[in-house]
Structure 1
């Protein structure tokens, strides 16, 4: 998979001169990969983040400022951007199936089944904050809605976001707290950090222990991801990304609304404690989609410039093998922070953690460019495609699929 549903041969053709919209989508996906890494790496760096409390060893004003900026700018926005692209690419797959006169349903179901298995393995072995399992299940919902009208999909997306926001607001006004005992949360964070510093057995046991809490988090994250799927579905049906120039006025309206409203909500979200506080979380749920949309609108317009096209050429290979890179990020973080590798969990300040994320991403950009120059698919994309199509596709560039 790309965390999209459209297998690229499309992506490979784009690099040799086919429509720039294909590589624009790949480049957007690559940007989302970076933002996701910057957010997720905190959960590898110590065991406190999953307990919704800061590491007391790294709680200076500078550490707090770094965490605040990440919460404001990236938390909840990165995976929404990814989810939007998933929904958009779903429409590309439907169009491709229609052109070839084949039924997309069996193939898509197999793909989601394979994605679900990969997600379970990812959650247990590498990162309990996995999103692939949720994508696999929600992808089946999207499949069931494949024939709905654009207006219906748009209303459903808005109602999902508004509904989650309303429920969270009710919980907040009722005095519900997500961290009911800060001292107990700090103690749990210390135990989790020590578990991360252990070997593979300790790491797996900690991941399994945290899975129920992550399932609870998906009660909010899941509906928002489905909402973003539907927004992407609407954009795909409207061919929004096939003609960026023709939709420039719409994209600018998205920026004019998305930045002021989205940033205002992001400030409330971050200042209110991020995902640890229901009031802040409510503001984040209701405004993060607008800020994510503004980011996408800005990037798409930038990609049309001469400088932007050069940036796209650098980013697109990483976006084409986004599943491999998403799983690779987790593997590299495990090797850096846990006892399986360097064992740096709890020992690195937030700013240094961000620099490590950027370094990992730069390595992935270089590896992706080298890999995609030789092969049609990323390694995990190739395996998932083989399962989906029930055959071994040709891997090397220039070979028939």
Structure 2
């Protein structure tokens, strides 16, 4: 075997296919944030309008994809992390060294992504949280699940208290007899800036590349704030991924009936809870403070239920069509998820930002999903032919090379996956 030929490796098709669905779903979640001001993701009132069509498109995203695909991606990150650590241990390598080198370079990729491509990066978050998650690698599945649910609940409670307090204080703004009237008016005034900020964002992202990078450099603290804000959502999801890998759920070892029970146990209540939260936002007239509370706190329980149900539902789909060409292409997109994730950011910002096609703020919500479908087609079309020839996606190869400190073989050995 030549030095430029990659050795054989064992793939778990279930993990690859789930990761493929997740990276495609991440785009469905992010497409509004690529093409509209940031707050438009949370509220149609912030940009685009509140016509029945706009509200329906927002509701579609909020109900079906908002947070669920990120949750699934986090679960799969935890599972993959454990798989890589276990394999390093089995080969006699130092798993701690292997893991932290990977997380260091992932953090570098994440910061480059944030500063030079798109503000919505999750790679730096995953690298930071992944460093913490490593400490739980030896826990058995039941303990991981208990602690994950406990930490997730703690995160929901703390977030509800913090942003709920803002909502409570803001409600006093119109009551002159309230001792909190001035504080309430200050909170309302801060949220009233969102409309002006949306206009400024449109001007920024329809401008030149240098101005966009300068704005990011001026907000260099944002990735670190994101870690603090998202720690108690992302860490529990990674821990669940580790547990569901340990107990065979993610590797497809459960029975078909067991997966179906998970779907029926968690999808209906999760959907109902999410619909209630959507209704509360609509009833408020998409008030910005309500939208923030809904996104960060109220939707979290239903989001978790639906994420687990989605995983079970997709595993049933993968099991049923495991030998189909479609699942093979989805699995290939999952094996090149890192390249697809960053590649999507490059393509979408080029389409929507001023240094590209300059469509930022020019496309309505429903039409954005056509761009999403087009990018899905690109992912499915390029990933498998690439992997038929090469062992890794281009950025997967670069990450592996940097983490190992030596040039990694790229060509695929015929007959191996």
TM-score by length of 1: 0.88
Q: Would you say 1:169 and 2:160 are equivalent positions? A: yes
Question: Which position in structure 1 is the counterpart of 2:175?
Answer: none
CA shift, 1:321, in A, is: 0.7
In the comparison of the two structures, how many residue pairs are matched? 385
CA 1:249–1:51: 2 relative to 1, 3 Å: closer
Which residue pairs with 1:159 in the alignment? 150
1:99-248, aligned counterparts within 5 Å? 99-176=90-167, 181-209=190-218, 212=221, 215-244=224-253, 246-248=254-256
Gaps of 5+ in 1: 1-7, 15-21
CA distance in 2, matches of 1:116, 1:383: 14
The 5 Å alignment of 1:356-371 reads 356-371=371-386
Q: Does 1:288 align with 2:303?
A: yes
Question: Which residue of the partner structure matches residue 3 of structure 1?
Answer: none
Which residue of 1 is the match for residue 77 of structure 2?
A: 86
Q: CA separation in 2, counterparts of 1:367 and 1:306?
A: 21
Partner residue of 1:95 out of 86, 89, 96: 86
Q: Is the 8 A contact 1:45 1:348 kept in 2?
A: yes
Render the CA deviation track for 1:258-310: whole Å, top value 9, x for unaligned. Answer: 11121122213333449833156423112211101111101111112247744
2:265 pairs, out of 254, 257, 266, with 257
Quick one: distance in 1 between partners of 2:306 and 2:189? 30
Contact 1:48 1:186 in 2 (8 A): no
Residue deviations 1:123-152 (CA, integer Å, cap 9, x gap): 011111111001111111111222233333
- Give the C-alpha shift of residue 361 in structure 1: 1.6
1:56 deviation in Å? 4.1
Matched residue SS, 2:392? coil
Structure 1 residue 45 and structure 2 residue 54: aligned?
A: no
CA displacement at 1:212 relative to structure 2: 4.8
C-alpha deviation, 1:88, in angstroms: 1.2
Residue pair 1:36, 1:79 contacting (<8 A) in 2 also: yes
Q: After alignment, is 84-93 or 54-63 more displaced?
A: 54-63
Q: Which has the larger radius of gyration?
A: 2
Specify every segment of 5 or more residues in structure 2 that has no aligned partner in the other structure, as ranges.
1-5, 171-186
Aligned to 1:323: 338
Q: 1:30 aligns with which of 20, 25, 28?
A: 20
Q: Corresponding residue for 1:336?
A: 351
Deviation at 1:398, TM superposition (A): 1.4
Instruction: Please give the per-residue CA displacement for 1:81-134, whole angstroms capped at 9, x wherever unaligned.
Output: 011111112222233123212221111111100000000000011111111001
Distance change in 2, residues 1:179/1:42 (3 Å): farther
Whole-Å separation in 2 of the counterparts to 1:143 and 1:287: 27
